[in-house]
Structure 1
Amino acid sequence: MKKILGILGVAFLGGAVSLTGYKMLLEQPQTVIQHQEPALQTVKANYTSPILNTSSVPTDFTEAAESTVHAVVHVKNTAVRTQQDPVSFFFGGNGTRKFEQVGTGSGVIISPDGYIVTNNHVIDGATDIEVTLNNKKKLKATLVGADSERDIALLKIETDVDLPNIPFGNSDNVKVGEWVLAVGNPYNLTSTVTAGIVSAKGRDLEGNRNIESFIQTDAAVNPGNSGGALVNTRGELIGINTAITSRTGSFIGYSFAVPSNIAKKIIDDLLEYGTVQEAILGINIDQGEKDIEGVKIGSVDKDSDAVKAGLKEGDIITKVNNIKITKFSDLKGQLTAKRPGEYVDVTVNRDGTDLTKTVKLSKKSTFYSTTLGTNFKDITDKDKKMYNIEGGAKIVSTVNRIFLEYNLDKGYILTKINGKSISSASEATSVLDGSQSGRFLLEMINPKGEIERFRY
């Protein structure tokens, strides 16, 4: 009997061990975790919160997405690059080889007849531009014009049908905290829509020497989104997505867009004049004043309309056309969206008193190239006739050590950069400062009328 009980005990024990091993090795353990939300601390107060009209707060972005996604296109650019090839040199070649470099981005259709706005860096240096519509149709695009300083370019595609397009909104009316959508083609993922809010306006990015009036959002933007649309919940274009702040190259929380008012003004200028018309107030800023809300006038150009309007040194600009100005990027953004000859109402604080002056904007006459450390201005009709040229950029002053060493200073006219003719001072600085290579073959006319060429 004891023997039988011992056998049964061993059997039960073996079964238990086997069952335990099966549970541990073959079955997935299941763990049930109970979540308990901590109670929020309640603080009593005498303040009664106003009742919000929640019906006006957007919770559904489908209409805005539907009205915009078909008007955002995929932009593919192909550029022919030249690269040093020492192997070719040893086998009787010229030591270089050509190769195609392909880049992609986004663009926004802004008219039914096929005008498309994108970033200049999306198509910079392209020899071939192809646009893919949201319906997968591919079309060749031509470059109408570009402005590298503000990173905006205008393309045109030909089609027999009216294209879906996005109307421009007024970027001055955009409010911090407002919902926005970013529409584009990140990582070649076409027709991608992300949502966020406006985080800031008039943002000045460190290291960006050009546009200083970005709209900052937290809508996810990644490589490929460049040139895409930033729209409000009504489906209006309020910005062109342009940049992100990142240490990895991917989105980490903030993206930046060129305001639509600036983009529209640039497009209108390119269509009407072929180049951007820059407007200035005719003042110099007091860069030493940092702890004020507004922009302090350091000096007033005696030949500008600012003198006639009554602006004075020491005035602090607080508004332009009733738009609040708290820093220089706010002022620059307002002026960038205007044309020479337009009138603006400038509110200044003078010794504690607010005054409003109506100022006629002047045309910017000199343009500074940070690459060359040189100021240029447009040539006159007299210059064109004297040197038998159609366009160019005359050197006004320079701090470039090499230029000074070779006496390439006042009076020299820059006519070509890397074999391309230059029509104006604005175009010259745009090409020079927008180049990625930083290497130039400069063709100039000296004051004697002789052509000189320099590699820089």
Structure 2
Amino acid sequence: MVRAGSFVAALMLAVAVAGPAQAQTRVAPDSNRVAPDSKAQVQLSFAPIVKRVAPAVVNVYAQRTLRQQGGSPMFDDPLFRRFFGDGPLGMPKDRVESSLGSGVIIDRSGLVVTNHHVIKDATEVKIALSDKREFEADVVLKDDRTDLAVLRIKEKGDYPFAEFGDSDQIEVGDLVLAIGNPFGVGQTVTQGIVSALARTQVGVSDYRFFIQTDAAINPGNSGGALVDMEGRLVGVPTAIYSRSGGSIGIGFAIPGAMVKFVAEQAKSGGGLRRPWFGATLQNVTPDMAEALGIKRPVGTLVAGMSANGPAARAGLKVGDLLVAIDGFEIDDLDGFGYRYSTRPIGGSAKLSIIRQGKPMTVEVGLVAAPETVPRDERMIRAISPFQGAVVANLSPAVAEELRVPNALEGVVVKSVETGALAGRFVQKGDVILEVNGTKIDTTKTLEKVTQSDPGSWRVAVQRGGEVVRFAVRS
């Protein structure tokens, strides 16, 4: 270890030994560098931006009530509870959990965007403005696939709001501000730059396409605002990379284009409808790139096609390489998913493709996936490998919701209750093909099959494009 004083002495000695000849080789200062020549330049500040945006950034308080498991079914009897109450007899008690995050008001009527994980399973949501006013809020729309939720403040009023910027126009190196409530300490502003764009190796949502920033983002910032130097909303912070739980300069935000898409769907009053592509895609490997005659592995390859989907109707074929959508270059499958899913339904998208080495352009109609058969959701309650699973009939709409590849008919596992028997055998997104030799074509068929006790179960499911078979004794 070298002390500071010793280092300075050594440096002076080195300069003296180098002599005049080497001293003359110093590079002249950059002539473009000038000292500030006015008070305004010395006092440059982000304060005007913060004053404009901060009133629109809110705290989101969510509460969820969890029922504790009791020791005996008698404790659920209303008559028993009337006489004994919630005493020390092992009765189940309600436990309230709270979570704190941030949100952004996006229109003057009080519409607020935040992260889905902030309000997940909430039974009560409150909004606190920067001026300390608090309001109850309703959940208008929530989507775990994008990790976004839209709330509405119940009390009517004229609220401060943030305007959307164009997240497609920001570049690496641009200055940005993150505004939120980290660790519950109160509204906080941090400054940094855009560190990277189109980050896809972040598994916090189905659409893995994030803005990376070194503006300090910590727990509690989730759902807040990432704004540009004009005070426009370009992203919603959602995750950090950290070994300690605090910021180490690697934070991720959902791009404003995705946030705006979800918010506009909420304003329309309907559910979230995404455009359906109707094809299975895969990433390009270096070996595949060489075989396709391209210099580097970019784009995404059409690997499968729905017979009457938008991709097929546009004339796309298996083996086509998709390299751009509406002028935006596609790096990989996640990049395509983000670009395509943020296009508005009703229009069209221009795809730049390479087919057998030749560049082409095709136009795909942007339509919602159809629900060709009623989903007829059912909870399987009979003792079987599916007990506690919620199943639904497959259609393009259900397949798109659950991201089920190459399956447009049959029965799919939509969810599994926590702790249910089904959790040991099947998982969300499994397509149930066959049980004890019976083809499972509808949820009604599966329910009927599970109502008997065959002694053993032979099951075939499609999982991630592969068929998995297993046997279970009753």
TM-score, normalised to structure 1, is 0.70
CA contact (8 A) 1:169 1:237 kept: yes
Letter in 2 for 1:83: Q
User: Which residue pairs with 1:330 in the alignment?
Assistant: 335
User: Which residue pairs with 2:285 in the alignment?
Assistant: 289
Distance 2:385 2:415 in 1: 25
- Aligned counterpart in structure 1 of residue 169 of structure 2, from 168, 173, 185: 173
- Aligned counterpart in structure 1 of residue 189 of structure 2, from 186, 193, 202: 193
Matches within 5 A, 1:416-427: none
How many residues were matched structurally? 381
Deviation at 1:451, TM superposition (A): 12
Distance 1:34 1:105 in 2: 48
Distance 2:129 2:25 in 1: 53
**Unaligned residue ranges in structure 1 (runs of 5+):** 1-30, 366-377, 384-390, 415-422
Q: Does 1:72 align with 2:57?
A: yes
- Aligned counterpart in structure 2 of residue 151 of structure 1, from 123, 129, 147: 147
Letter in 2 for 1:356: T
CA contact (8 A) 1:446 1:452 kept: no
Moved more, 106-115 or 80-89: 80-89
Cα 1:426–1:270, aligned 2, differ >3 Å: closer, same or farther? farther
Cα 1:304–1:93, aligned 2, differ >3 Å: closer, same or farther? same
Letter in 2 for 1:76: Y
Query: Deviations for 1:261-302, whole angstroms, at most 9, x for unmatched residues?
Result: 111111222333532112233222134635612212223333
TM-score, normalised to structure 2, is 0.68
CA contact (8 A) 2:110 2:156 kept: no
- Aligned counterpart in structure 2 of residue 265 of structure 1, from 261, 265, 268: 261
Moved more, 240-249 or 60-69: 60-69
Cα 1:394–1:408, aligned 2, differ >3 Å: closer, same or farther? same
- Aligned counterpart in structure 2 of residue 240 of structure 1, from 236, 240, 259: 236
Matches within 5 A, 1:396-407: 405=385
Deviation at 1:143, TM superposition (A): 0.9
Q: Percent identity?
A: 29
Letter in 2 for 1:364: A
Distance 2:188 2:415 in 1: 29
Distance 2:50 2:69 in 1: 46
Deviation at 1:156, TM superposition (A): 0.8
- Aligned counterpart in structure 1 of residue 359 of structure 2, from 344, 351, 354: 354
- What secondary structure does 2:158 align onto? coil
User: Which residue pairs with 1:309 in the alignment?
Assistant: 314
Query: Deviations for 1:282-335, whole angstroms, at most 9, x for unmatched residues?
Result: 222134635612212223333123234332332222211111111222111111
**Unaligned residue ranges in structure 2 (runs of 5+):** 16-22, 76-85, 287-295, 404-412, 423-441, 452-474
Cα 1:434–1:273, aligned 2, differ >3 Å: closer, same or farther? farther
The higher radius of gyration belongs to 1
Query: Deviations for 1:100-135, whole angstroms, at most 9, x for unmatched residues?
Result: 111100000000111000011111111111111010
Distance 1:41 1:127 in 2: 74
Distance 2:414 2:191 in 1: 33
Query: Deviations for 1:398-437, whole angstroms, at most 9, x for unmatched residues?
Result: xx9x99956999x9648xxxxxxxx9777789xx9899x8
Q: Does 1:341 align with 2:346?
A: yes
CA contact (8 A) 1:180 1:233 kept: yes
- What secondary structure does 1:162 align onto? coil
CA contact (8 A) 2:283 2:299 kept: no
Aligned-residue Cα RMSD (Å) equals: 4.6
Deviation at 1:177, TM superposition (A): 1.5
